[in-house]
Amino acid sequence: MNIITYEEVFMIKAISDAEWDVMRIVWTDGNVTVDDIANKIDPKHGWQLATIKTLLGRLVKKDMLSTERDGRKYVYSAKMSECEAAREMADEFADKICTKQRASAIAELIRRSDFTQEDIQMLKDVLDHKTVETKVECNCVHD
């Protein structure tokens, strides 16, 4: 009997913090090799090449990266933009929080973040055009 995981059911590309670090390099540089990542990854990780290869393999398996052979090396490129990944991550975040707590969670994210004047104006515009609900139903599990 095959057991289907949550990620397979909802097609969520849940990636670890380490995989996210690798993806940020790929999104910045475009096409990268293992050596490119090794040269750019934060030294505090202390990753060996084998660790980077493992992370890249996981990201290929999760369909976040494509790979192409170039001589003796493999070149990796993103199959999803950082903006698309952030949107997907925001959806996952929102789905995990009670609908009645989302505004508080978003407010806390805003308090913890740095913004340009343009960013603040964009947030104001989003709120100005948001449809007002008269009642927000709790989506928590109840007995």
Q: Is the pTM of this model over 0.75?
A: no
Q: For residue range 115-143, what is the model confidence (pLDDT) as tens digits?
A: 999 999 999 999 999 998 888 888 887 65
- Please, are residues 73 and 33 in contact by the beta-carbon 8 Å criterion? yes
**Percent of residues, the chain, with pLDDT higher than 70:** 90
CA angle 36, 40, 42 (to 5 degrees): 145
Helix (H, G, I), strand (E, B) or coil at 70: strand
Tokens of 141: 């599990």
Q: pLDDT tens digit string along 27-43?
A: 999 999 999 999 999 88
Distance CA 139, CA 132 (A): 18
Is-contact 62 76, C-beta < 8 A?
no
Q: Is residue 54 situated within a structural domain?
A: yes
Residues 6+ apart with CB under 8 A from 114: none
Residue 24: which CATH number?
Answer: 1.10.10.10
Give the Cα separation of 73 and 33 in Å (integer): 7
Give the three-state DSSP class for 52.
helix
Q: What average pLDDT does this structure show over 105-123? A: 94
- The percent of residues above 90 in pLDDT, for the chain, comes to 59
Domain around 28: 6-78
Does residue 105 belong to any structural domain of this protein?
Answer: no
What is the count of structural domains for the chain? 1
Domain-embedded: residue 126: no
Q: Is 139 within the bounds of a domain?
A: no
In the predicted structure, residue 12 carries a pLDDT above the cut 80: no
88 in a structural domain: no
Does 8 score more than 50 pLDDT?
no
Each residue's pLDDT tens digit, 84-97:
988 888 888 888 88
